[in-house]
Amino acid sequence: MEQRWHDLLFAHWRVEKQWLRHHLPSELEIDMYQGEAWLGVVPFRMEGVRLRYAPAIPGTSCFPEVNVRTYVKHGEKAGVWFFSLDAANRLAVTVARAWFHLPYFFAQMSCEVRSGWIEYASERRDQGSPAAVLRGKYRGEGNTFRAASKTLEHFLTERYCLYRMDADGTLQRGDIHHLPWNLQVAQAEISENSMTKGLGVDLGTPELLHFSRRQHVAVWPPRRV
């Protein structure tokens, strides 16, 4: 698939390794930076979502999304593990659940630019799923930069695959490709964040914030590892 991601906020918190281990498959190793584990909440806006070399399907190619993620390894291959992905398009959620076997949820969402801020709101509306709300605003500040190798910013953002468990409990990896992120330091005012309430952890003020205006991404189907 091909996708374009716009107006991303990378909000990150340190989390306890023991808590994180309890929520990950045993086949995956927690990927840590200088002995510390991290959790991210990433709101953004999707555009141009389509099968590669095929036109976008009207009504399914543009919508906000927010994901909750952490960082893992299988062997020497570092990647992302998603705890949840909320999106504002029911069809996209249904297809992503069936094709990728990822924990997608339908949410009522908005993402608008006002006075230089990205004003973002998401409230999960999937029946029977844990409640999850994110409300706030954010923006990038200062010059753009690309994260230098071996820095924390590089560790958190330059990830080129995701891991998932298939319906039969088999670990799979989906590769992605994009250019290195053009980042800015971000400012954010988050008024409500219960995205991890269903995981049994409450997040306070983010410890690290970065912003990126856009990214063009290619996504390959997951395969057994």
* Mean pLDDT for all residues in the chain: 93
- Return the CATH class of domain 2-224: mainly beta
pLDDT at 96: 81
Three-state SS for the chain is CEEEEEEEEEEEEEECHHHHHHCCCCCCEECCECCEEEEEEEEEEEEEEECCCCCCCCCCCCEEEEEEEEEEEECCEEEEEEEEEEECCHHHHHHHHHHHCCCEEEEEEEEEEECCEEEEEEEECCCCCCCCEEEEEEEEEEEEECCCCCCHHHHHHCCCEEEEECCCCCEEEEEEECCCCCEEEEEEEEEEECCCHHHCCCCCCCCEEEEEEEEEEEECCCEEC
pLDDT at 92: 83
Q: For 166-212, how does the pLDDT look when each residue is reduced to its tens digit (9 = 90+)?
A: 888 999 999 999 999 999 999 999 999 999 999 999 999 999 999 99
pLDDT at 26: 96
Output the pTM of the full model: 0.94
pLDDT tier, 72 (very low <50, low <70, confident <90, very high otherwise): very high
Q: For 135-171, how does the pLDDT look when each residue is reduced to its tens digit (9 = 90+)?
A: 999 999 999 999 999 999 999 999 999 999 988 899 9
Q: Which of 53-67, 86-100, 104-118, 206-220 has the lowest mean pLDDT?
A: 53-67
- Domain range summary for the chain, segments of one domain joined by +: 2-224
pLDDT at 94: 87
The residue-averaged pLDDT of 21-30 equals 97
At residue 16, does pLDDT exceed 90?
Answer: yes
